[in-house]
Structure 1
Amino acid sequence: MGGRRGSRTQRKHFKESRENVWKRPKTDSSSDPNNPNSNNTAWQPFATQNPSFDEYYKEQGLVSPEEWDAFMDMLRKPLPAAFRINSTSQFCDDIRSLLENDFMKSLQAEANEGSDLEPIKPLPWYPDNLGWQSNFSRMQIRKNQTLERFHEFLKLETEIGNISRQEAVSMVPPLFLDVHPDHFVLDMCAAPGSKTFQLLEIIHHSAKEGSLPDGMVLANDLDVQRCNLLIHQTKRMCTANLIVTNHEGQHFPGCRSHKNISNGSETTNKLEPSINQLLFDRVLCDVPCSGDGTLRKAPDIWRKWNGGMGNGLHCLQIHIAMRGLSLLKVGGRMVYSTCSMNPVENEAVVAEILRRCGGSVELVDVSNQLPQLIRRPGLRKWKVRDKGVWLASYQDVRKFRRNGIVPSMFPSGRNYMDPTDNSQKSENVENGNSEDVAQPDDPVSSSDNLEEEVSDLPLERCMRIVPHDQNTGAFFIAVLHKVSPLAVLAAAILDKSVSAQQNLSTKNDELHEKWSDQVTEEINGLESSSADGTDEKVEEVASEADGKISEVASEADEKISEVALETNLVGDGPDGVALETNSVAAQAPADKKIDSAKAGEKRKLQIQGKWRGVDPVLFFKDEAIINSIKTFYGIDESFPFSGHLVCRNSETNHVKRIYYVSKSVKDVLELNFRVGQQLKITSVGLKIFERQSSKEGTSAPCAFRISSEGLPVILPYITKQILYASPADFKHLLQYKTIKFADFVDAEFGQKAANLMLGCCVIVLREGGKTSSDFVQLDTSTIAIGCWKGRASVSVMVTAIDCQELLERLSARMETEKGTLAQEISGEPDEKQDMSGENINLNGGTQC
């Protein structure tokens, strides 16, 4: 969430100080709190109070005076743990049934017997009982067997990806986005990735069974380290419909292309149109914020909190939100959210967005959605706190503080001028500059004579979640609908911005042309020479030119971006004028680019350009490897290979992993190539094939094995190297990891395994009543694992934790089936066998 960006957690403080707690002798007088000369540096619980906090929110009227004590008491209590069941998991129904019929009932029974335990319970407002909440201490978990079992279950399912731990209020924003399976969704400030995972769940859950969704999620974050956390979080989803990028949200690339490429030539492709600009159907704008809504889980915020924290983030939040709206399609929806309670970061930002958009964006009333979620309407009046002074309007701002306090922080958003200086007012409006506006010298005395401003915008349509309503954290959410292209703020400001862009672009074109001409002359001179080493020199000159042209383009992009940001015009201009800062090198006129023919086709194209430290994203087109994979696994021709495989290494012989991308991601990658690779992509696609590195693997007919993550996608299309195992043999594989051909319970299965080619194979669990010769219909409920067929045995290629989870799930299913069968044939104990006719020991299985 926004407020945790860059903050330190309680756990980190505890780690730093726990050595002083445990290693200091008890008789050490220096640690005596009653000794005035003691140097007590031991860790102490965080103080859960801050007078400035009380004063600030009492003045803002966040809650009524009657409920203030309840509000503060709840803020001082630890936050209950919350989690979601992954709705796309194969075992979603099993997990939900286990929670409802086992853990919840067991804990409820203990509570009824007088125990102080609270049962786990589903969040009443989250659809389909997929969101849950629990409230236990570590001490309770250690002492209670049911809780300990539940805790282990939760850890296992979380690591597998069947469950995601996430704060309850953090689950709310994606639910109001109204995401469909064909939507392009942008998560602007995505790390650590809980909401991104949730968005992917929604897209996949509502997609057609057995096929990839037509939509995608593009998750972006400013910080590279947080991007890694985001990748780790979403990797458990195993999706081909995700791109992770690393950009500043307010400067996210527009990726506008005016050309459509088909078959290597520039054409207008009417049969299969591709996207020419990266626009989104839905945008989640969970911006960086002060984060005081997370006080219950991050109590260190109490000591750091001050009334000016929100003021410093206000303008950044506006810029990110405006950029999100500029990337939103007309008719699309954006959710703006923060985990802050401060109206300067919430209602003030939403009000300024609505003012700037001038009717192009409306605030949606969603009060009738999720009726069981208790929420409060947004505020229409508030004050601004600056250096210990309350400000009722911008007119109260002291002159030397006008750089930090801006008009948009106040309910009306008005920039008050000196009424006696009309010339100054005219000049400031024209230049978009308010620095020289005359202000009263005594803001305190003047504010006493002013009424509080009240916004005339429908801010009550926003929603504010407060902790004591449903025992949660605090959150703010606003749903925005884009009804038309963004309107202009002021013609003079727009003219200034466009003029500055044109000047910078013209200058860059001149530099580009100069370098192009210079390089062309040098290359021509080298080609006319008969000296040895001409090819190397041509490549050297071309490479140097690439670097300098890229450097010029990068500098120009930065300057254009700065101009656009300074004038607050980061969206669409009037009459279709685009203000996105596209790569100048990519948009240079054709007659000003270096003619590759003149370079004797020796010049190498730049692949990843300016994104240093990030591996390039390349379409994998090695037909020899692709055909070997198709032949070895007998992959049906209906499986879309062409254009859907990508890698991160330009040298085919050294490619270790091949990733699969959906049609939507493929289109975005193609667009990114056309516009000069403006997207800095840190992760893309689903790992589907992985090169064998073992000694035995290198001698296999196919050098690539199917990865566990990509197996569900390609499974329905495999016709070779695939076997169907009985429940007994499948369970034995999971238990013992390696089994010799002769040791399988089903001798026919063992013989079939021996007849497979050396290399990767797929073992599918068949239903108990079927034999190995029966046809098995593969669908999303099919359970299969990747294995390695060696010279004398079959070994699983699944992690230990995945094996453990599958074993527990299969044991539960077999037990249910066995119980059902026992009821059906009650009175005939000698026939209590597994449906396959084989006795199975559910606790350990038959020894091989």
Structure 2
Amino acid sequence: MGGRGRSRRTQRKHFRDGRENVWKNNKSDPQQQNEEKSPLHWEPFAVTNAAFEEYYKEQGIVRPEEWNSFMACLRSTLPAAFRINSSSQFCTDLLSQLEDEFTKSLQSEGADRNEAEGLKSLPWYPNKFAWQSSFSRMQLRKNKSLHRFHEFLKQENEIGNITRQEAVSMIPPLFLDVHRDHFVIDMCAAPGSKTFQLLEMIHQACEVGSLPSGMVVANDVDVQRCNLLIHQTKRMCTANLVVTNHEAQHFPGCHLKKNHVNASERDMTHLLFDRVLCDVPCSGDGTLRKAPDIWKKWGVGMANGVHCLQLQIAIRGLSLLKTGGRMVYSTCSMNPVENEAVVSEILRRCGDSVELVDVSSELPQLIRRPGLKSWKVREKSVWLASHKDACKHGRRGIVPSMFPSGQAHLDTSDDSNEKPTPMTGAEIIEDGISNKNVDVDAAAAADADGDVIVTELSSLPLERCMRFVPHDQNTGAFFIAVFHKISDVPVLQTKSNKQSRELHADGYEKVIQDEDKDINGMDLSNEETTADKESDDISLGSNPSKKLKVQSPNKATSRAEKANDKRKLQIQGKWFGVDPVVFFQDEVILIGIKEFYGIKDSFPFSHHFITRNSDTNHVKRIYYISESVKKVVELNFLAGEQLKITSIGLKMFERQTSKEGVSSPCMFRISSEGLPLLLPHMTKQIASASPVDVKHLLQYRSVKFQDLVDDGFREKVSTLSLGCCVVVLNKGNEGSSDPPVVDKSTIAIGCWKGRSSIAVMVSAIDSQELLERLFIRFGTEKGSLPDVNCDEVVNDDGDEVKENSETLTVVDTEVKEDSETVTVDV
């Protein structure tokens, strides 16, 4: 009571004394009144930084005669770039639209020459699928053709037919040489544009209704960035993707123990990859053109602080790479400490087991520059040409791997009169970082004579690296190095036969047991991936899709006691806040789905469905995974769930949210995302419609049976069962085939067949996109068709259809559809 009373008296005192009202303007100040009357103007970022210019002039990134052009390009606006999804069924249509409609229309309307050249394809990207636009926002507003072009970009990007991506960011996946049977990992994947590009390569040249034998694992350390990654890759509609949330330098190996039952009989006992993409975190000064705020905050400490992390990620990527595989290391930085220095240390540590690949003959139209052979390190205001200089100036945060030679000049002898002996980074780790014989002060004193600083020169083939500077082809800056793994990465062996030391990029050593190493000898043990040690009952039996039984060592309960335990145990419960991954095995539901839609036996159906809900009796969504992803999931179960999976699989079926199958014999409807994969294998609930009826469905959202133009389509729809169905566009050459012939050019729409009408289950933007495709294919003028009112449409039989953003609801059956893709996109 007393405390509250004093608080009240204090508050009353404050009100009585009167505090300054910072929200009230002082009208007696004429200067302030003038400032209020004058409009606020946006002040652009200052695109100068003296430290930046001094640093890169000294490093010799470009020749002195190019410096002015280099800086002028860095201060200019970055052109917008985008890429056509090469696996989309409309990729050729989009390419023709860009070449014919947009590029030529600018010239025919008498646009300025600069505007006509502002839209062009990137000559180095295969098949003209990458484009660059240098139009400003003002130009997009004042020119009608450009405004339509801008709307085209926004619509196609949201659907997934194109991806907005910086031009130089498209380069690293091209040098990976990905094939459809490869296992690929993107170790630092967010925001996901490169992952999307890798998925395109996996799915390219894939037959309709089939999946590639490869897969992509997209990993990121930040949960929020993982959500952005999921949103980006969701537009691809793929069953060959797994999104994980781990630190890249500690990505789990997901391996089986040697003593595991039947481990030797499995075709996959550890998770290795054919291709590894290490687009590591960096200082990002190569993105100055699109992120001008970096000018103000740039400093040399940004690069020095991430060097060790970049090296750790790259070394871990090589340990996950199969022998004979390829890894691409890349950064959006111009700093050699983050680029050539990391590549040099990788080559020194791995020796003959890793080769730096010369890819100068690949993509010949791409302008690139060789990597640097010599550079310096700067710490605050001091230039350091070697690690000896770092010791002399007491810069303990500077590691030997930052320099071209990678040598540490430390005195390791007991006799202080002897001269310092240069040591490599590997020798320092082998000798021990805390070795008392290492005397930094002695090395510094021996060379404190005012000697001339001599810059080191690397003897490694760093000219095989690729450095991209902005003014060469009007892009951002980038760095790429391509590695080929020849043999297993070596590990330094100690005197003990039971232990080995792993080389770590931060200069520390980690002692690990032999049983915790994969075939490359690299460390696979960490705090997050030792669930197999904590569990003594991991049994899936002969069927890997059964529930995983995990028995905690602290609870010696019997199986009867566990059966009586009503608490729900999540398979992925060890990862807090992440939904479990559970194989869906309800045979009654699966058989019912298969019979209702007439799914052929050619479609891999058994043990390919998963859910993210441990309570299988209340599953709302069923996801489909490819054969390659299924193997990874089974291996992850057996290995103790080392992978923290945030997203997996392609949403295939969704439960009807009400009436529990009263209106339809099947409880689950086909998701628009899974329709392209499932359609070629369906024999029931399919109707072929004429272009006119398809247009009417997309425009009016719901059409009564008697209003359908095509008599054959009307008769076919009336015979379908109530519930989900698929309407396929009849191009005129299918005849009366039942089911219709499906190929890559087929356009299909997910619909709902009611008592006397049929309604589409696609979003407004998807309907608009399909109408665009119909206009282009059949040459119909868009202006001759009535506008589509997607807010609310009422059928003649009283069935109300509402479209709000991405959610479609048919009121009589309460069907909700939140999918974004409805076309056959293979």
TM-score by length of 2: 0.82
Select the residue among 482, 489, 497 that pairs with 1:486.
489
User: What does residue range 626-641 of structure 1 map to in structure 2 within 5 Å?
Assistant: 626-641=590-605
**Which residue of 2 is the match for residue 473 of structure 1?**
476
Establish whether residue 464 from structure 1 lines up as the match of residue 467 from structure 2.
yes
Q: Is residue 586 from structure 1 mapped to residue 532 from structure 2 by the alignment?
A: yes
- 1:221-300 equivalences under 5 Å are 221-258=220-257, 266=262, 269=265, 273-300=266-293
Amino acid of the residue matched to residue 430 of structure 1?
Answer: D
The answer to whether structure 1 residue 843 and structure 2 residue 798 are counterparts is no
Counterpart residue identity of residue 815, structure 1: G
- How far apart in 2 are the matches of 1:563 and 1:139? 48
Superposed CA deviations along residues 379-421 of structure 1, whole A, max 9, x for unmatched, are 0100000020000000001468544100000000001123764
Q: Deviations over 1:546-588 (max 9, x none)?
A: xxxxxxxxxxxxxxx9999832789997986452117444157
State whether structure 2 residue 340 is matched by structure 1 residue 352. Answer: no
Tell me the equivalent position of 1:835: none
Q: Is the 8 A contact 2:263 2:269 kept in 1?
A: no
Name the SS for the 1:99 alignment partner.
Answer: helix
Q: 1:36-51 counterparts in 2 under 5 A? A: 43-51=42-50
Which of 712, 736, 739 lines up with 2:700 in the alignment?
736
Task: Report whether the alignment pairs 1:418 with 2:411.
Answer: yes
Q: Which residue of 1 aligns with 2:189?
A: 190
Note if contact 2:243-2:645 (Cα within 8 Å) is conserved in structure 1.
yes
Match of 2:431 in 1: 430
**8 Å Cα contact 2:501/2:510 also seen in 1:** no
* Aligned-partner residue type, residue 390 of structure 1: W
Looking at structure 1, the residues matched to 209 and 622 of structure 2 have their Cα atoms a distance apart, in angstroms, of: 22
Q: SS at the partner of 2:117?
A: coil
Indicate the larger mover: 294-303 or 722-731: 722-731
- 1:609 offset after TM fit, Å? 3.2
Deviations 1:802-836 (A, max 9, x none): 010000111111118x9xxxxxxxxxxxxxxxxxx
Match of 1:614 among 572, 578, 601: 578
Offset at 1:704? Answer: 0.5
1:216 and 2:215 equivalent?
Answer: yes
User: Is the contact between residue 584 and residue 609 of structure 2 (CA under 8 Å) also seen in structure 1?
Assistant: yes
**Alignment of structure 1 residues 806-821 onto 2, 5 Å:** 806-815=770-779
Q: Which moved more, 1:83-92 or 1:691-700?
A: 691-700
Partner-residue secondary structure (3-state), 2:410: coil
| Counterpart position of 1:407 | 400
Aligned to 1:543: none
Cα displacement (A) at 1:697: 5.6
User: Is the partner of 2:703 in helix, strand or coil?
Assistant: strand
Distance of 2:42 and 2:443 partners within structure 1: 48
Aligned to 2:80: 81
Match of 1:453 among 456, 460, 465: 456
Contact 1:658/1:688 (8 A) holds in 2: yes
Alignment of 1:368-383 (within 5 A): 368-383=361-376
Gaps of 5+ in 1: 1-22, 502-560, 819-839
Name the SS for the 1:608 alignment partner: coil
Going from structure 1 to structure 2, the CA distance change for 1:113 and 1:682 (only over 3 Å counts) comes to closer
Query: Partner residue of 2:390?
Result: 397
The percent identity for this pair of structures is 62
Residue 567 of structure 1: which of 501, 509, 514 is its match? 509
Mapped to 1, the partners of 2:363 and 2:574 lie a distance apart of 45
**Matched position secondary structure for 2:278:** strand
Corresponding position: 1:658 with 2:600: no
- Partner residue of 2:131? 132
Q: Which residues in structure 2 correspond to 1:766-845 (within 5 Å)?
A: 766-770=730-734, 776-815=740-779, 843-844=785-786
When residues 209 and 689 of structure 1 are mapped into structure 2, their CA distance, relative to the original with a 3 A threshold, is: closer
1:4 matched to which residue of 2?
none
Give, in whole Å, the separation in 1 of the partners of 2:535 and 2:116. 71
Alpha carbons of structure 1 residues 178 and 155: separation in structure 2 relative to 1, 3 Å:
same
Please list, as runs of the form range in 1=range in 2, the aligned pairs for 1:529-548 lying within 5 A after superposition.
none
Deviation at 1:438, TM superposition (A): 3.2
The answer as to 2:300 corresponding to 1:307 is yes
How big is the shift at 1:767? 1.1
Q: Secondary structure at the match of 1:416?
A: strand
C-alpha change, 1:758 and 1:696, in structure 2 (3 Å) is: farther
Judged with a 3 Å threshold, the aligned counterparts in structure 2 of structure 1 residues 603 and 136 are, in CA distance, closer, same or farther, namely same
The Cα of 1:487 is off from its aligned counterpart by 1.2
Q: 1:370 to 1:591 in 2, by over 3 A?
A: closer
CA contact (8 A) 1:397 1:439 kept: no
**SS of alignment partner, residue 761 of structure 1:** strand
- Aligned-pair CA distance for 1:286: 0.2
1:727 maps to which residue? Answer: 691
Aligned to 1:600: 559
Matched position secondary structure for 1:767: coil
Does 1:498 pair with 2:499? yes
Does the CA-based 8 Å contact 1:724-1:765 persist in structure 2? yes
Seen in structure 2, the aligned counterparts of structure 1 residues 388 and 98 have a Cα distance that, compared at 3 Å, is same
Asked whether the equivalents of residues 728 and 845 of structure 1 are also in contact (C-alpha less than 8 Å), the reply is no
Give the residue type in structure 1 aligned to 2:328.
V
Q: Residue 725 of structure 2 aligns to a residue in which SS?
A: strand
Q: What is the alpha-carbon distance in structure 2 between the residues aligned to residue 565 and residue 698 of structure 1?
A: 66
SS in 2 for 1:450: coil
TM-score when normalising by structure 1: 0.80
**1:662-701 mapped onto 2 (5 Å cutoff):** 662-695=626-659, 699-701=663-665
Shift of 1:747: 2.5
Deviates more, 1:41-50 or 1:234-243: 41-50
- Preserved contact between residue 398 and residue 443 of structure 1 (Cα < 8 Å): no
Give the conservation status (yes or no) of the 8 Å contact 2:392–2:445. Answer: no
Alignment of 1:168 onto 2:132: no
Report SS of the residue matched to 2:185: strand
Measured after TM superposition, the shift of residue 154 of structure 1 is 0.8
Q: Is the 8 A contact 1:389 1:444 kept in 2?
A: no
1:7-18 matches, within 5 Å, as none
Are residues 1:328 and 2:348 paired? no
Match of 1:558 in 2: none
Structure 2 residue ranges without an equivalent (≥5): 1-24, 539-550, 564-568, 789-794, 797-826
Cα offset, 1:340, TM superposition: 0.2
- Give the Å deviation of 1:101: 1.3
For the 8 Å contact 2:489–2:520, the answer to whether it is kept is no
Structure 1 residues 669-725: Cα deviation after superposition (integer angstroms, max 9, x where no partner): 000000000100000010000111144865421111000000011101111111111
| Aligned residue in 2 for 1:29 | 31
Q: Helix, strand or coil: the match of 2:383?
A: strand
- Pick closer, same or farther for the CA change 1:394–1:628 going to 2, 3 Å: same
